[in-house]
Each structure stands twice: as structure tokens, then as C-alpha cells.
A and B are shown apart, each in its own frame.
Chain A
């Protein structure tokens, strides 16, 4: 019963958390290496995901590591393309060509786990 209660409580918490995320403001930063094919694809994918799932509540920065390598150091980026979820917490990084939309949605807590 008690366990049941705990589960119920955890579920409620998650639901409440998700409900909260429904309204959360996303701050995303995408690191690319100029106009390489993967970087181009990454920019296109992330832009599409944002427009489809976070329309009106996201702030996307695209950073070319050639132009601003210092920022990459601050964010401890070791490979590009990398998407960084700065807000809402927790901080998350996604590396690769970012064409696996479902994985990104999951990582951005935009899909129930």
C-alpha cells in the first residue's frame, strides 16, 4: 500500500514535472564546425524540432567553433556538432549529427520516458 502510495506520489510528481515543462522556456546552444555536411544537417534538424515542439518558447544559439572557440571551451565541448540544453535544468549534451529526432525529443524531455 505504502509502495503503491509512493508510486502514485512519484507518478504525480512526474506528471506535475511534465506539466511544468510544458510551459518551460528552453535555452539551447548548438555548436557546429562551419558549414560541414553534419553541421548543416544538425542546424536544419534542431531548427525544425524547435519550431515543431517548442514554438514560441525557445532561444537557440548556433555557434561556429572556428569563429568563437572560447565559448566551446567554457561549455566543455569536445566534438561538433553538439547540442547543449542549458535550460531548463538539468544541463544536457547531445553529440553527433542530431538527425535522430526521437532521441533528441526524449533528451529534451519532450517525450514521456
Chain B
């Protein structure tokens, strides 16, 4: 036991000796300057004191670094700063230390600075603010305040943000520039897009217009071809009928009274007359029938036709009429009558089963160039629009395309000839008008007829046509291969005071003209003649004497119309049958013009 105590005591003694040795070594080391630092522990934590010169390596680091380094006391006075900081504030180092750091901070940033420094007593903090140079320029910086281990000193690192700000500014500028470019490009694209949309719409419209035009052209060509064919056949057929009717009548006269054949021949004559009527209709369709165009107030004709219709159409069909005076149209009253009768009869047929409403209305419309393009028929200018609308069974698109063809009918045998709408079509075309149809199966049909209104200058002519007959004087060379017509023209001209040289062929006329051109005031020639037609004669006369007035007279000619004649230099154009008023007026105007333009003396 005692032995054990001794051993323990020995061990404690050895330990104490070691402690003592350590203490002595420590004191000796401190005394001998072997230590660089001493640590004090106290209520304020651990504080390290190092020997003078011991911090040299740190000082070198701090002086070499690119950031500013500053130590402040509790009052904010700079105790230490490195060279870099002195550069940052553009102030000599010796004038920086001992001054308050706050004086280098922009006034508006000083509250932030105060907060950072105050906070630095407990924890680290960072903040961006602006330093003011001694020369007044500014420097954006990041202030990093280290948590202080000693309450009375703050350590601050100051980082120059100029480059960073510059880069940020550059980036911002670039971004704004890019955004601007994007915006510009977007605008350009939007404009292009709108342009493109517009072009697409225009092209689409152009395609639609072309399709429509093609359709109109096809329709017109089809109707023209049918008209020519039907007209040709009808002419020949007419000649045959003339013979049939003529010889039948001869035969009828030669038959003894009471002959059984009389009734048979009368049947032949009756059928022949019916065939003649039909031929007339075909000729009307093909615009080769006789026409008497004169200035006409068509509302009167329409009203009359409707009165007639009302009496023949059952009362289950309500006729609404808005027929008003729309002005004058150059038209044949019989044919206008026929238009309204045919259209209304068709409308009645469409509503026969169910009853309904038949609406006939008129208005003046001003047509434009576009309407011409849409229809290929109508010239720009004022037109009378006559509408005939029914609430009947309507018709399909396919049907609408064919309704104007002769002998095309949807009616049962015996109900219609299939010529009604063809005749209407022919009449309207011969009046330089146009007809359109709009229909939907089960909803009814609308026909719109457009006829050109007589315009002011024509109106003057129209009035004069019915007024005073203007006399004249001078020699007129009249050319017509029909002796009766030639004679008639001669009498008419003589009655007006003119002298007449009458020729029955163009070759003869050319000869007479060559010999006597000095006495001739004007040439009046027929169009259709053998060997040399009126147009050719006119051309040759104009070659011989360019100022010689030539008036062309024609019944129907597929190769000549007024416009064409004017283009050829022909001075006047007259439709047969020639009316005295018109003849007098035309010759008077032309000769007046000629004498007016003749050089004085």
C-alpha cells in the first residue's frame, strides 16, 4: 500500500516537473524572443499580439493586392490603408490615414456605409457604393467589412467595380442594341407579312376574277356560237318557208272551191306561219331580227306588260312592282315587252305549284370598269337595272349555266318552247345590255337585266330625231345593190334638197366618184354588197380623197358596227331601216362639220 502511494507520488512529481519545465521553457522562450506571438484570453475573447515585424509577409500581400484595404477605429477614422486604396481615392497615402473614410463616400451612399460599418462589429457584410475622388470624379466600389474580433477596429476591403460596371454597361448597351435590332426586324417581318398577306389576297382575288372572266367568256362564246348557228339555219329555213308558204298560197288559189285539199293546204299554211314565228324568235335570239331602236321610257312598256300579266296569272301569285321612271333607253318597245313577258312567265311557272311572290323592280345603277370586267359585257356608265324575282323552286348552278341556250328547257313537253330565255338573252345583247341570274334550289330566282341609259349627248340627238327635219344641199353619191332601196334613198335625199348620183354596185360607184369627185359632197353606201363591200369602198374613196365624208348604211352585219366604222375613218354609220329624220340629221351634221373645218378661202 505504501509502495503504491509512493509510486503514485513519484508519477505526480514527474508530471509536475515536466509542467515546470514547460513553464520555464515558455518563459525562457518569451524572454529569449523565440516567440512571434502571444495569446491573451479574456472576457473579450482571444487576442493575438505579434512581435514588431512579424506581420511583414501579410503586409507585403496586402500592399500587392489589387483591392483597397482599410482599417478603421470605432470613430471611423482610417488607422491604416494600403497604397491601392490611396490610389482609388486619388489622395496621397499620408493624407488618407488619420482621416474619416466616410468623407470619401458619396453623400447618398453614406447611410449604407454607416450601416455596413456598424454591422461589422458583429458580422461580415458587403455593399456597393460610390467613392468620390479628390478631383470630383467617382468610383463604384464593393465594400467588404470583416466581422471584427476586436471591437474597436474594422477591417475593410474595397474592390473597384469600374471594369465590372463598364462590362455591365457594355452588356446592357449591347442587349439594348440587340433588342432594338430584334424589334426592327420584327417590325420588318410584320410589314413583310402584311404585304405578303395583301399580295396573297390580291392574287387570290385575281385568280377568282380570272376564273370568273373565263367563265363569262366561255358563256359569251357559247351563246355567240349557238346564235350564229341558229341564225344561219333560221335564214335558210326562212327562205324554204317562204317557198313553202308562197307555193301553198298559189296552190290554194288554184284549187276549185269545195276541194278537200283546201283544208289540208290551209294546215300547211298555218304550220308554215307557226314555223315563221319560230324562225323570228331564233333570229331575235341570234340578234338578226328586225329591230326598231328608239329612245324609250321602258317603265311604261313594263307597266303595260305587267297589267297584261296580272290578268293571266292566278291570284296565288302576288305581283309586287316597283316600276319607276329611270330615264330613256335606246330600245325596241316590242322587244322590251317580250323581255318582261318571258321573264315573268318563267317566274310564274316556277311558283305555279306553291304560289308566291313575283317582284318586278327598276332602278338606275352606275356601272364601273370592274362591272365590265365581271361581265365582259357592260360599259361603264348609267344603266337601268330591271329585276324580276320570284320565290319559286329555284335552280341548280348547272342549270343556270345553260338556261339561255335555245331549246334548253326544264318544262314538260308542250309547256314551253325552250326559246323564252334565249330570246330574252338575244334581245338584251342587241340592246348592248346584260342579264344575270341568281338562284338557289328551293329559294327562288332573281334575274337582273342591265340596259344602258341614253346619256345627255345622245338625249339631244334623240330629241332632235323626233323634231325638225334638217334640209341640205349638194350632191350625194348613193350606192346600194338593192335598186328599190337605192331609189327610196334617192327620193328621201331629193326631198331634203340634195342632188343624188345613184349607183347599184361599188365598182360603178368608184368609177363615178373618180370622174366626178369635184361635185360630190358626200358618199352614202350600203355595207353588204357583192364584189366590194361598203367598208372596202369607203377605204378606197378615202385613199382617193381623204376628206371625203362617207356614211355607211347597214341592216345587220357581223363584221361591222358603229365603233369599227369610226375607227376606219368612216364619218357616219346608220342602221337600216333608214329613217328620214336620222338621215337628215346625220348628213347635216357631217356636212356642217366638213364646211366648218375647210380652210378659209
Contacts and interface: CB of A to CB of B under 8 A. Distances in A.
B90 to A, nearest CB: 32
B561 to A, nearest CB: 116
Contacts of B22: 92-93, 95
A34 B39 contact: no
Interface stretch (B44-52, B271-279, B446-454): B44-52
B225 interface: no
B58 A35 contact: yes
B54 A95 contact: no
Given A34-B55, A66-B48, A73-B46, A79 B38 contact: yes
A39 B36 contact: yes
B39 A95 contact: no
Nearest to B45: A69
A96 interface: yes
Contact of B37 (A73, A79, A92): A79
A69 B32 CA distance: 24
A112 interface: no
Interface stretch (B23-31, B97-105, B367-375, B539-547): B23-31
Nearest to B14: A90
Nearest to B57: A35
B216 interface: no
B457 interface: no
Contacts of B25: 94-96
A90 B34 CA distance: 24
Interface in A38-95: 38-39, 65-66, 69-70, 72-73, 77-81, 90, 92-95
B48 A81 contact: no
Interface in B1-53: 15, 18, 22, 25-26, 29-30, 32, 34-39, 41, 45-48, 50-51
A38 to B, nearest CB: 5
Nearest to A98: B34
- Chain B CB within 10 A, most for which of A34, A77, A92: A34
A65 B55 CA distance: 13
Contacts of A81: 35-36
Nearest to B49: A33
A36 interface: yes
A31 to B, nearest CB: 9
Contacts of A39: 36
A78 B38 CA distance: 6
Interface band, chain A? 20 to 34
Contact of A96 (B18, B34, B39, B51): B34
A95 B32 CA distance: 11
A81 to B, nearest CB: 7
Contacts of B18: 90, 92
Contacts of B34: 38, 95-97
B48 A33 contact: yes
A37 B36 contact: yes
Interface residues of B, number: 26
B110 interface: no
B10 to A, nearest CB: 11
Given A69-B48, A96-B25, A96-B29, A36 B149 contact: no
A113 to B, nearest CB: 12
A36 B32 CA distance: 16
A33 B34 CA distance: 12
Contact of A78 (B26, B45, B50, B51): B26
Interface string B43-86: 00111101100110110000000000000000000000000000
Interface in B196-229: none
Nearest to A33: B37
A65 B35 contact: no
Contacts of A90: 15, 18
A69 B37 CA distance: 12
A74 B157 CA distance: 30
Contact of B46 (A34, A72, A95): A72
A90 B54 CA distance: 32
A16 B501 CA distance: 171
A37 B37 CA distance: 11
A93 B27 CA distance: 13
B47 to A, nearest CB: 8
Contact of B58 (A34, A65, A70): A34
- Chain A CB within 10 A, most for which of B25, B35, B45: B35
Contact of A79 (B30, B41, B45, B149): B30
Contacts of A66: 48
B157 to A, nearest CB: 16
A54 to B, nearest CB: 21
Contacts of A69: 39, 45-48, 149
A36 B26 contact: no
B35 A80 contact: yes
B147 to A, nearest CB: 13
Interface string B140-184: 000000000100000000000000000000000000000000000
Given A36-B50, A94-B25, A96-B34, A72 B39 contact: yes
A92 B34 CA distance: 18
Contacts of B36: 32-33, 36-39, 80-81
B420 to A, nearest CB: 117
A35 B36 CA distance: 10
14 contacts: A36-B55, A65-B48, A69-B46, A72-B39, A78-B38, A79-B29, A79-B30, A90-B18, A93-B22, A94-B25, A95-B22, A95-B29, A96-B29, A96-B32
Given A69-B149, A73-B46, A95-B25, 10 more contacts: A32-B36, A33-B50, A34-B58, A35-B57, A36-B54, A69-B48, A79-B37, A92-B22, A93-B26, A95-B29
